[in-house]
A and B are shown apart, each in its own frame.
Chain A
Amino acid sequence: MSAERPVVIVIEDEPQIRQVLRVTLEANGFRCIEAESARRGLLDASTNRPDLMLIDLGLPDRDGIEVIRAVREWSAVPIIVLSARSYEATKIDALDAGADDYVTKPFTAGELLARLRVALRHAASRGRPEAKQVFAMGALHVDLLRRQVSVSGQEVHLTPIEFRLLTVLIQNAGRVVTYSHLLRDVWGPGKADQNHYVRTYIGDLRRKLEADPARPIYLLTEVGVGYRLLAD
């Protein structure tokens, strides 16, 4: 457990995919601990204090979502889900169970590493909220403290709800945020199943922030799951 090399536990039953993951991760400065079953993975997680976990949803001995719940009972370690299923409901279940993000198989190395880095950064900043007073990405500049938003230096006026929505997305920059997460954090509890509110306001937000709202470059859609604010 060296300080420079983050430890990643990979719980995946397919040896070929484990091998690809190990090669990719070790080449990019991670230390990789492999587990071929949920039982083994949970054991490794409790003894190795990992910085990250990669969990496949289709494990032979236990459902991946149950593994996420089990880990969440005692740890806030970032969890990225590897899923062969493209069913959106499964992704949402995994995120609701406590996963930080997901990667759909087959994935590219770039995609996987980007998710891992965002998750690590997010975990690192969890104890220091003041670190995120200012968000800058491309032409977009947001000062959360002063509640100022500008695109290419031009100030943009946002309604209170739009600003709140943007704040939640910035707090989770780079990660997918589900509709229910946004509804809960922006509108408060009791507004579940009102996903179209979120979509309406995201549409408004895009019209104000994006150069071409039909081809967004900051506020990306994960259809059926939620939104992802692009982070560098």
Chain B
Amino acid sequence: MSPDLPIDIDATDAKKPRWRRYLPGVLITVVCTVLAAIMSMWFAATNLAMVYLLGVVLAATRFGREASVVAAVLGVIAFDFFFIPPLYSFAISDTQYLLAAIVLLTVGLVISSLAAGLRRQTRIAIHRERRTAALYAMTRELAVASSLDEIASSAASHLAQVFDADGMILIRNPDGTLRQLSTAGDARLLTSIEASIADWVLAHGVAAGFGTGTLPAADAMYLPLNGSLGMRGVLVVRLRNQQRLAPEQQHLLETFANQIAVAVERDQLWRQARDAAFAAQEERLRNSLLSSISHDLRTPLAVMSGSASSLLQGDSQLPAGSQRQIVETINDESQRMTRIVNNILDMTRLESGPVQLDLQWYPLEEILGAVLGRLKDQLGRRSVRIDIPCDLPMLHVDGALFEKVLINLLENAAKYTPADAYIDVSASCEDGRIQIRAMDNGPGIPKGSERRLFEKFYRGQTEGAISGTGLGLSICRAIVEAHGGRIWAENRPEGGAIFALVLPLTAVPYEHTMHQVP
């Protein structure tokens, strides 16, 4: 890709050899002389000076300062030689002709100077316009970049387009070291980066390397990325043609670096703000967990220690029936505490990182059977009706975790329904998914809280009549989502709650190939 901008304002003229810059002035004088010779048949000699003036204007506007000066000087000489008596000599006999010659020379030189200035202004304006456009294009891209890598790649592409250079951003880590951001097509640059120069630039906040006063022997430039709140990193730029940049260009490159620094800083500050918000939320959750745990654990603990101490104090004075009642209370409360602690442990385990699933094939019936066996006491007189089609595919789940899902769902149903309620558990397979539903005919879910139920520490009923940490359903959600499924709750039109979950269906491997006895 070739650079968009001229290397220098006067570059197009400066590059030509000197004689080519003067030549148009000579040619224009020749043409003017021919024209003036023809016109001299009808016009007085002094008027012919105007023809030369026109030539100077033309040379100044079209060919630049050198050509116009040549045209002005040669024009005066030619005018004097060919048209001022005595003809064909440089002598001037009449003062009026002398005046005409002097005016011609003066006006010619002034015009040439003005026109050349104008040309230069135009070029500067065009240059500025292009520079602004290039900066604008990059700034616009940087503004929408949503990651450091995106910033790096758009910076690299603009550096390549505008300066014909490879660019790379080194970001400052919190510990002061530098880290490369990945960009496309930077393999050559990567190998030539000199860490010591980059570190120096980071420490001093001044550009170094190629084309600068510090370590100019390096083949890349190292520019500081200076954000408003401190150094953000270093921009490394390697010009592909290895020619020094003109001051204008150097300036533009520094502006680029500033824009990149602003973008990097914006991205980093945004991330910091987000992390801070996240940490604050975690903190709130932790506080809520602490208050929830301390309440939920303290209640059964108080009951147990109260019961035990009354047994100790009363000794044998208590009737046998009361003693038994107290012991039963201790037993019940210890089981309640076990459930709470297990829930807290499960949640901690599920949240401590990605869950390692021990995926195996289970018939739903088997897990459900184990769950119903465990919950026998809690379900009490509630009748559990099971409707599982016999051709339901096996579930590909972590058995122990999935058992917890069903335990929590049925435990919830038992907790929130009257003692004679019924609970329906059904399953179906459609659209490549297995759906499992647990329905009850209890009071249902408070309107509007269907989603919040699955949040941590949310409880259907705020007063402490029903015990629990409010963790059960959020554990269910964490487990189901770890299996790639979804869980939700809704109310039945005829009253009662439905808890439903879907799991993606996985193809069962060769199921019945081992019927023969080996």
The residue that A187 contacts in the complex, of B394, B403, B514, with Cβ under 8 A, is B514
Residue contact B365 to A213, C-beta cutoff 8 Å = yes
A161 sits at the interface (CB 8 A): yes
For the complex, give the distance between the alpha carbons of A194 and B372 in Å.
26
Residue contact B363 to A199, C-beta cutoff 8 Å = yes
Q: Which chain A residue has the least Cβ–Cβ distance from B368?
A: A214
B431 sits at the interface (CB 8 A): no
How many B residues are at the interface, by size bracket? 20 to 34
Q: Which chain B residue has the least Cβ–Cβ distance from A190?
A: B518
The residue that B366 contacts in the complex, of A89, A159, A221, with Cβ under 8 A, is A221
Chain B residues within 8 Å of A214, by CB: 365, 368-369, 372, 386, 388
Looking at the assembled complex, report how far the CB atom of B15 sits from the nearest CB atom of chain A, in whole angstroms. Answer: 77
With known contacts A202-B366, A223-B367, A195–B517 Cβ distance under 8 A: no
Chain B residues within 8 Å of A215, by CB: 369, 372-373
Looking at the assembled complex, report how far the CB atom of B87 sits from the nearest CB atom of chain A, in whole angstroms. Answer: 117
With known contacts A106-B334, A214-B372, A223-B367, A164–B517 Cβ distance under 8 A: yes
Q: Which chain B residue has the least Cβ–Cβ distance from A207?
A: B390
Q: Which chain A residue has the least Cβ–Cβ distance from B334?
A: A106
For the complex, give the distance between the alpha carbons of A105 and B360 in Å.
26
Q: Which chain B residue has the least Cβ–Cβ distance from A216?
A: B369
- Which residues between 242 and 262 of chain B lie within 8 Å of chain A, taking CB atoms? none
Looking at the assembled complex, report how far the CB atom of B158 sits from the nearest CB atom of chain A, in whole angstroms. Answer: 54
The residue that A203 contacts in the complex, of B342, B363, B517, B518, with Cβ under 8 A, is B363
Residue contact A161 to B361, C-beta cutoff 8 Å = no
For the complex, give the distance between the alpha carbons of A216 and B367 in Å.
11
For the complex, give the distance between the alpha carbons of A159 and B516 in Å.
9
Q: Which chain A residue has the least Cβ–Cβ distance from B513?
A: A197
For the complex, give the distance between the alpha carbons of A89 and B357 in Å.
12
- Which residues between 66 and 110 of chain A lie within 8 Å of chain B, taking CB atoms? 86, 88-89, 106
- Which residues between 154 and 202 of chain A lie within 8 Å of chain B, taking CB atoms? 159-161, 164, 187-188, 191, 194-197, 199-200, 202
For the complex, give the distance between the alpha carbons of A166 and B512 in Å.
18
Chain A residues within 8 Å of B388, by CB: 214
Residue contact A223 to B370, C-beta cutoff 8 Å = yes
B515 sits at the interface (CB 8 A): yes
A29 sits at the interface (CB 8 A): no
Q: What total of chain A residues lie within 8 Å of the partner, measured CB to CB?
A: 29
Chain A residues within 8 Å of B386, by CB: 214
Chain A residues within 8 Å of B338, by CB: 106
With known contacts A161-B515, A214-B369, A216-B369, A224–B361 Cβ distance under 8 A: no
Looking at the assembled complex, report how far the CB atom of B280 sits from the nearest CB atom of chain A, in whole angstroms. Answer: 33
B175 sits at the interface (CB 8 A): no
The residue that A220 contacts in the complex, of B370, B398, B512, with Cβ under 8 A, is B370
With known contacts A213-B369, A214-B372, A224–B342 Cβ distance under 8 A: no
A222 sits at the interface (CB 8 A): yes
Looking at the assembled complex, report how far the CB atom of B45 sits from the nearest CB atom of chain A, in whole angstroms. Answer: 115
Chain A 105-136 interface 0/1 with B at a Cβ cutoff of 8 Å (1 = within): 01000000000000000000000000000000
With known contacts A188-B518, A203-B366, A224–B400 Cβ distance under 8 A: yes
Residue contact A197 to B367, C-beta cutoff 8 Å = no
Chain B residues within 8 Å of A206, by CB: 365, 369
Q: Which chain A residue has the least Cβ–Cβ distance from B407?
A: A223
For the complex, give the distance between the alpha carbons of A100 and B361 in Å.
25
- Which residues between 389 and 408 of chain B lie within 8 Å of chain A, taking CB atoms? 394, 398-400, 403
With known contacts A221-B369, A223-B403, A195–B342 Cβ distance under 8 A: no
Q: Which chain B residue has the least Cβ–Cβ distance from A193?
A: B360
Residue contact A199 to B403, C-beta cutoff 8 Å = no
For the complex, give the distance between the alpha carbons of A80 and B291 in Å.
38
B362 sits at the interface (CB 8 A): yes
Chain A residues within 8 Å of B369, by CB: 206, 213-216, 221
Residue contact B365 to A196, C-beta cutoff 8 Å = no
For the complex, give the distance between the alpha carbons of A86 and B346 in Å.
10
Residue contact A203 to B365, C-beta cutoff 8 Å = yes
Residue contact A199 to B515, C-beta cutoff 8 Å = no
Residue contact A200 to B363, C-beta cutoff 8 Å = yes
Looking at the assembled complex, report how far the CB atom of A163 sits from the nearest CB atom of chain B, in whole angstroms. Answer: 9
Looking at the assembled complex, report how far the CB atom of B228 sits from the nearest CB atom of chain A, in whole angstroms. Answer: 52
Residue with the greatest number of chain A CB neighbours at <10 A, chosen from B358, B369, B373, B518:
B369
With known contacts A196-B509, A214-B369, A215-B369, A224–B358 Cβ distance under 8 A: yes
Chain A residues within 8 Å of B511, by CB: 196, 200
Q: Which chain A residue has the least Cβ–Cβ distance from B396?
A: A196
For the complex, give the distance between the alpha carbons of A106 and B365 in Å.
27
Knowing that A191-B514, A224-B358 touch, tell me 16 more A-B residue pairs with CB under 8 angstroms. Answer: A86-B342, A88-B358, A88-B400, A187-B518, A194-B514, A196-B360, A196-B361, A199-B362, A200-B511, A206-B365, A213-B365, A215-B373, A220-B370, A221-B366, A223-B366, A224-B398
Leading 6 A-B pairs by shortest Cβ distance: A196-B361, A224-B400, A221-B370, A160-B517, A224-B399, A223-B403
27 residue pairs A–B, Cβ–Cβ below 8 Å: A86-B400, A88-B358, A88-B399, A88-B400, A89-B358, A106-B334, A161-B515, A161-B517, A188-B518, A191-B514, A195-B360, A196-B360, A196-B394, A196-B509, A196-B511, A200-B394, A200-B512, A203-B365, A206-B369, A214-B368, A215-B369, A215-B372, A215-B373, A222-B370, A223-B362, A223-B367, A224-B403
State the B residues within 8 Å of A (CB): 334, 338, 342, 345, 358, 360-363, 365-370, 372-373, 386, 388, 394, 398-400, 403, 508-509, 511-512, 514-515, 517-518
State the A residues within 8 Å of B (CB): 86, 88-89, 106, 159-161, 164, 187-188, 191, 194-197, 199-200, 202-203, 206, 213-216, 220-224
